Chains A and B, each alone.
Chain A
Amino acid sequence: MRYVAAKTAKEAAGLLAAEPGVTRVLAGGTDVLVQLKSGMVEPDLIVDIKTIPGLGEITAEDGGFRIGAAVANAVLGEHAGVVALWPGVVEGANLIGSTQVQGRCTMAGNLCNGSPAGDAVPGLVAANAVARIAGPEGTRDCPVAEIPAGPGKTTLKKGEIITSIYLPARPERASDAYLRFIPRTEMDIAVASAAVSLELNADGTVKAARVALGAVAPTVVVADAAARILVGTTLDGDTLASFAKACEAVCNPIDDKRGTIAFRTRTAGTLAKRAALIAHARAGGSK
């Protein structure tokens, strides 16, 4: 196994593209190292991206923020600007692991690990976040929603790495929220999760909504039909009930040791409903 600390994104992409064997990018390593220790993967090449200048930075850009791929989630959680603009994204990222894990783990790593239960992903998808990707053929931008391809899989091509994730600007009276269900209160893996991002009209009614559900399908689910139910409402009881039903309708989970199909589906609806209420309150809605 070779370990290389890359100096530039280009170098990292070149090394990864040239390696015929198994490769892994090392961001925080909180997935990679666990997988190495347990013998799940035996990579031939590990490329550390924390040594690439700029990847550890958060920069303001066009009213939004660009989050470097090596920014630890603990650092993200201490960034007042990001927390104010996208509290739901940050709360998802900050739910990962423990204090120790927070000091290392990244949103890009969470996304690229490809777990359907990744806690940072639904928030990013609901936020319409965009990943900047460096590869052997240069740089491209891609919506985060299009990166997951199934458990452990992404749409990134060989040699491609994410260098940053862009969280867009948003109007006044807008906010988001993320909730996950775990059997414990900490140190667990989402059995179902929901992120809701809302923009409100001056009267508190929903102007626009975007909803993403986690752990209820092979990849994060964008629940557009459900989100449309919220538009024009103030999230009254009936609206929320049909919203929850519509969320359940787009779930396609597995039955496993962590939860049954019925449980995951129902819980996704419940969480979406609760997250919508939180986002609404944060955005300055009446409730």
Chain B
Amino acid sequence: MSLDEYTRREFKQVGTRVRRPDGVDKVTGRAMYGADATAPGMLTGRILRSPHAHARIRSIATSAAEALPGVKAVITSADLSVPEDEFIRDVQDNCMARGKALYDGHAVAAVAATDAATARAALKLIKVDYEPLPHVTDVDVAIRPGAPVVQEGRALENVPAGMSANVTSHSEFGHGTPAEGFARADKIIERSFRTAATHQGYIEPHACLASYAADGKADLWCCTQGQFFVRTLCSAIMGMEASQLRVTASEIGGGFGGKTTVFIEPVALALSRKAGRPVKIVMTRDEVFRATGPTVSTSMDIKIGMTSDGRITAGEAHLRYSGGAFPCGTVDMGGQAAFAAYDLEHVRTFGWNVLTNRPKEAAYRAPGAPQAIYAVESVIDELCQHFGLDPIDVRLKNAAKKGTKSSYGPTFPDIGLVATLEAAKKHPHYSAPLKDGQGRGISCGFWFNFGGNSCVSLNVNTDGTIGVTEGNPDIGGSRASISLMAAEELGIPYDRVRTIVADTSSLGYNDVTDGSRVTFAVGLATIKAARAAIRLMCERAAKIWGIDAEAVEWKDGAAVPAGPNAGKFPPMSLAEIAAVSFETGGPIAGHHEVNVDGAGVSFGVHIVDVEVDKETGATKVLRYTVFQDAGKAVHPSYVEGQMQGGAVQGIGWALNEEYIYGADGRLQNPGFLDYRVPVASDLPMIDTVILEIPNPGHPYGVRGVGETGIVPPLAALSNAVSRSAGIRLCELPMSPPRVLKALTGAG
């Protein structure tokens, strides 16, 4: 790990709340989202989806649809080859079922027609001969031997014999001997938990426009978190070379991890190839819910031992996650994250992934962590209640810190957990009195964070302005932060920098906007690209002055002679150097390419006060405060936005959001009416406290902040509700019927 990037400095612009560059476009409607792309001769694509949770597809008759005037192409999985790579094959089979429909909403065919009404009519003319099969949507049922098998032959070798064929993988993390630790505990609590699958709930449905040319090259415009990964997936599925497929990311109306893969893009490309015309597909909300990635649904057993003075002696977790109808590794991250906040001698987590007839899981902020940490933090809270201990004191007593061997292996460098807990403890919220019947809950949260492949070009324009070209769709304010970091490094005002997100043919590979990586990793590449440009500008000044390049340094946005021996020249500003660049050697640009390490883990602590209506089971959130380590908050408003957004999504997850399946295996609530994300009036203002414990892996100390915020709310809410209601709740969401049932036994 590169942990020597950081040097202390006084920031001039980083840390200020500059105007966001996308604001005007977004509020005036000028911004181009996925569905805004058009092309001459464009067709409308629509997808036929399985009404069955699980069914063999005996045949698909498309001729009547093809004969309908206005229909230009109909495709099924027969129009796609079968990729050898298992991962790519799963992505493709999720986009278009092959042989079996694996969940309600699974795509089975698609049409492209001259207008939407014709496309809809054509879908009705496609006759699919289904043989319905027994289905399973519940993880605890699917894991039992004898359960209906979603896909045969998908288990990895590490799955013990005798389990259902739905169990695809097993993982184990930890150290020590939990049995020894439990023997030293004064109290052991064991509890089982369940969490429902939730959806990322981005406001913009998936949309794309594909144009496949007769000579085999293609363009794809789409709403995605990662145009380069879209190119990887689509070129593999379409059998194309990367250079022949150009992918352009649109402005994005939310992703939260759910737009890190493809659902409709290969379908649009295949339709366009067959029709010879551009094809646009825009999902309906119903399709988004039924066929794009929700989170895993889980069932978990947690066992924790504690001494009467609050020392955790051992922890153990058994995690059963289902990522839907395809193998999924999210449980591994849950197992690694479960106890990450604690310095433990004895800790062990066991994870199983289980197939169910549900849509394929897609990433959602800190995938796998909120669930496992919810379960662990609930048991810790119950132990605190048992011993009458302060929940923050107990966490401080056991907190992971620099040098702690983490529960998942690595030894932590500088981390911010203790500082975050201390900030929470001394905040007025924590000591504010509660009224009768109200409850206060707290929880820690953790996320690994990620760096990854990043590639940035920074162009110095002759008028002294800067164009930064980067390759990551901006879902959390990264253009503002990247411009700020470039401006800081170059020593010029923020307004002089414009950052744009390039297509896949304009820049080297960039990993997806995920893992809270962009401000950290692309920011690092931007700073280094700026430094490369600065080196060039110093050379140009040296040339003009007729001195050695080494004798020039960069100060406050200008080249200056380095020390008295270099000669006496007035500073040459960036604009002055840029203006004469054509005479001094040509255009000036800096670039940087890197696979960034040292992302720096992130911790957060949330405090929430609630009041449960004991007659209806409804929970009112009264007050909420987020404490999180940002390393360095480049643009504090965006950092607060991430913290608030994470808290709100977590509150929704804790209280109302859930995928509800009927006995027929069909999703009962594929819409925002019955899939209840919180509305503004459900929430108090979410207060935030940003801590800045510099990340040694970044020149400015930045850590990713996008994901940790969704981790603590689940347990914080559950702990608060349990304290307010006077009973321990062990299942999410804590919807009013579930809480009232727990309170009254009726239900």
A186 touches B679 (CB 8 A): yes
User: How distant is A76 from chain B, measured CB to nearest CB, in Å?
Assistant: 22
A184 touches B656 (CB 8 A): yes
From the candidates A39, A183, A266, name the one contacting B735 in the complex (CB within 8 A). A183
Interface residues of A in 173-215 (CB under 8 A from B): 181, 183-189, 191
Q: How far is the CA of A188 from the CA of B674 in the complex (A)?
A: 8
With CB as the reference atom, state the residue of chain A lying closest to B678: A184
Q: How far is the CA of A39 from the CA of B747 in the complex (A)?
A: 35
Q: How far is the CA of A144 from the CA of B735 in the complex (A)?
A: 33
> Is B22 in the interface zone, CB < 8 Å from A?
no
User: How distant is A46 from chain B, measured CB to nearest CB, in Å?
Assistant: 16
B669 touches A185 (CB 8 A): no
Q: How far is the CA of A256 from the CA of B660 in the complex (A)?
A: 10
> Is B184 in the interface zone, CB < 8 Å from A?
no
Given the contacts A260-B737, A262-B741, A267 and B676 also touching, CB distance less than 8 Å = no
Kindly list chain B residues whose C-beta atoms are within 8 Å of the C-beta of A257.
660, 668-669, 674
A260 touches B681 (CB 8 A): no
User: How distant is B417 from chain A, measured CB to nearest CB, in Å?
Assistant: 34
Interface code B269-313, partner A: CB below 8 Å = 1, 0 otherwise?
000000000000000001000000000000000000000000000
> Is A94 in the interface zone, CB < 8 Å from B?
no
Residue of A38, A183, A189, A260 contacting most chain B CB atoms (<10 Å): A183
> Is B215 in the interface zone, CB < 8 Å from A?
no
User: How distant is A253 from chain B, measured CB to nearest CB, in Å?
Assistant: 12
> Is A258 in the interface zone, CB < 8 Å from B?
yes
> Is A270 in the interface zone, CB < 8 Å from B?
yes
Kindly list chain B residues whose C-beta atoms are within 8 Å of the C-beta of A3.
none
Interface code B673-701, partner A: CB below 8 Å = 1, 0 otherwise?
11010110110000000000000000000
Q: How far is the CA of A188 from the CA of B744 in the complex (A)?
A: 25
With CB as the reference atom, state the residue of chain A lying closest to B733: A183
Interface code B725-747, partner A: CB below 8 Å = 1, 0 otherwise?
00000000001110011001011
Q: How far is the CA of A188 from the CA of B673 in the complex (A)?
A: 6
A181 touches B736 (CB 8 A): yes
Kindly list chain A residues whose C-beta atoms are within 8 Å of the C-beta of B617.
263
Q: How far is the CA of A262 from the CA of B681 in the complex (A)?
A: 27
Kindly list chain B residues whose C-beta atoms are within 8 Å of the C-beta of A64.
none
Kindly list chain B residues whose C-beta atoms are within 8 Å of the C-beta of A258.
674
Q: How far is the CA of A262 from the CA of B744 in the complex (A)?
A: 10
A184 touches B682 (CB 8 A): yes
A183 touches B736 (CB 8 A): yes
> Is A14 in the interface zone, CB < 8 Å from B?
no
B736 touches A187 (CB 8 A): no
Interface residues of B in 642-678 (CB under 8 A from A): 655-656, 660, 668-669, 673-674, 676, 678
A262 touches B668 (CB 8 A): no
Interface residues of A in 223-269 (CB under 8 A from B): 256-260, 262-263, 266-267
A263 touches B679 (CB 8 A): no
> Is B18 in the interface zone, CB < 8 Å from A?
no
Kindly list chain B residues whose C-beta atoms are within 8 Å of the C-beta of A38.
286
Residue of A189, A256, A257, A259 contacting most chain B CB atoms (<10 Å): A257
> Is B177 in the interface zone, CB < 8 Å from A?
no
Kindly list chain B residues whose C-beta atoms are within 8 Å of the C-beta of A189.
673-674
Given the contacts A183-B736, A184-B679, A186-B679, A263 and B741 also touching, CB distance less than 8 Å = yes
Q: Is the interface of B mostly helix, strand, loop or mixed?
A: loop
> Is B618 in the interface zone, CB < 8 Å from A?
yes
With CB as the reference atom, state the residue of chain A lying closest to B655: A183
Kindly list chain B residues whose C-beta atoms are within 8 Å of the C-beta of A185.
679, 681-682
> Is B506 in the interface zone, CB < 8 Å from A?
no
Kindly list chain B residues whose C-beta atoms are within 8 Å of the C-beta of A270.
615-616
Kindly list chain A residues whose C-beta atoms are within 8 Å of the C-beta of B682.
184-186
Kindly list chain A residues whose C-beta atoms are within 8 Å of the C-beta of B678.
184
Kindly list chain B residues whose C-beta atoms are within 8 Å of the C-beta of A183.
618, 655-656, 676, 735-736
Kindly list chain A residues whose C-beta atoms are within 8 Å of the C-beta of B660.
257
Interface code B47-76, partner A: CB below 8 Å = 1, 0 otherwise?
000000000000000000000000000000
With CB as the reference atom, state the residue of chain B lying closest to A263: B737
User: How distant is B464 from chain A, measured CB to nearest CB, in Å?
Assistant: 47
With CB as the reference atom, state the residue of chain B lying closest to A269: B615
User: How distant is B672 from chain A, measured CB to nearest CB, in Å?
Assistant: 8
Given the contacts A181-B616, A184-B679, A260 and B747 also touching, CB distance less than 8 Å = yes
B737 touches A184 (CB 8 A): no
User: How distant is A237 from chain B, measured CB to nearest CB, in Å?
Assistant: 14
Q: How far is the CA of A189 from the CA of B678 in the complex (A)?
A: 14
A263 touches B681 (CB 8 A): no
Interface code A12-50, partner B: CB below 8 Å = 1, 0 otherwise?
000000000000000000000000001100000000000
Q: How far is the CA of A45 from the CA of B252 in the complex (A)?
A: 39
Kindly list chain B residues whose C-beta atoms are within 8 Å of the C-beta of A184.
656, 676, 678-679, 681-682
A262 touches B746 (CB 8 A): yes
With CB as the reference atom, state the residue of chain B lying closest to A244: B615
User: How distant is A181 from chain B, measured CB to nearest CB, in Å?
Assistant: 6
Q: How far is the CA of A262 from the CA of B745 in the complex (A)?
A: 10
Q: How far is the CA of A232 from the CA of B529 in the complex (A)?
A: 83
Kindly list chain B residues whose C-beta atoms are within 8 Å of the C-beta of A263.
617, 736-737, 740-741, 747
User: How distant is A257 from chain B, measured CB to nearest CB, in Å?
Assistant: 4
Q: How far is the CA of A185 from the CA of B679 in the complex (A)?
A: 8
B681 touches A186 (CB 8 A): yes
Interface residues of B in 602-646 (CB under 8 A from A): 615-618
Kindly list chain A residues whose C-beta atoms are within 8 Å of the C-beta of B615.
267, 270
User: How distant is A264 from chain B, measured CB to nearest CB, in Å?
Assistant: 9
Q: How far is the CA of A140 from the CA of B741 in the complex (A)?
A: 47
Q: How far is the CA of A184 from the CA of B677 in the complex (A)?
A: 9
From the candidates A39, A260, A267, name the one contacting B616 in the complex (CB within 8 A). A267
Residue of A186, A257, A259, A263 contacting most chain B CB atoms (<10 Å): A263
Interface code B188-214, partner A: CB below 8 Å = 1, 0 otherwise?
000000000000000000000000000
User: How distant is A38 from chain B, measured CB to nearest CB, in Å?
Assistant: 8
B669 touches A188 (CB 8 A): no
User: How distant is A77 from chain B, measured CB to nearest CB, in Å?
Assistant: 17
User: How distant is B507 from chain A, measured CB to nearest CB, in Å?
Assistant: 40
User: How distant is B406 from chain A, measured CB to nearest CB, in Å?
Assistant: 38
Q: How far is the CA of A259 from the CA of B674 in the complex (A)?
A: 11
With CB as the reference atom, state the residue of chain A lying closest to B677: A184
Interface residues of A in 260-287 (CB under 8 A from B): 260, 262-263, 266-267, 270
With CB as the reference atom, state the residue of chain A lying closest to B284: A38
Q: How far is the CA of A164 from the CA of B744 in the complex (A)?
A: 44
Given the contacts A186-B681, A257-B669, A181 and B618 also touching, CB distance less than 8 Å = yes
A266 touches B740 (CB 8 A): yes
Q: How far is the CA of A258 from the CA of B675 in the complex (A)?
A: 10
Q: How far is the CA of A262 from the CA of B674 in the complex (A)?
A: 19
Interface code A68-109, partner B: CB below 8 Å = 1, 0 otherwise?
000000000000000000000000000000000000000000
Interface code B234-277, partner A: CB below 8 Å = 1, 0 otherwise?
00000000000000000000000000000000000000000000
Kindly list chain B residues whose C-beta atoms are within 8 Å of the C-beta of A260.
737, 741, 747
Q: How far is the CA of A258 from the CA of B676 in the complex (A)?
A: 11
User: How distant is A65 from chain B, measured CB to nearest CB, in Å?
Assistant: 30
Interface pairs (12), CB distance under 8 Å:
A39-B120, A183-B676, A184-B682, A187-B679, A189-B674, A257-B669, A257-B674, A258-B674, A262-B747, A263-B747, A266-B744, A270-B615
Closest 5 CB pairs of A and B: A263-B737, A185-B681, A262-B747, A257-B668, A270-B615
Assuming A257-B674, A260-B747, A267-B616, what are 14 further A-B pairs, CB within 8 angstroms? A183-B676, A184-B676, A185-B682, A187-B673, A188-B676, A257-B668, A257-B669, A260-B737, A260-B741, A263-B736, A263-B737, A263-B741, A266-B740, A266-B744
Binding site for B on A (CB under 8 A): 38-39, 181, 183-189, 191, 256-260, 262-263, 266-267, 270
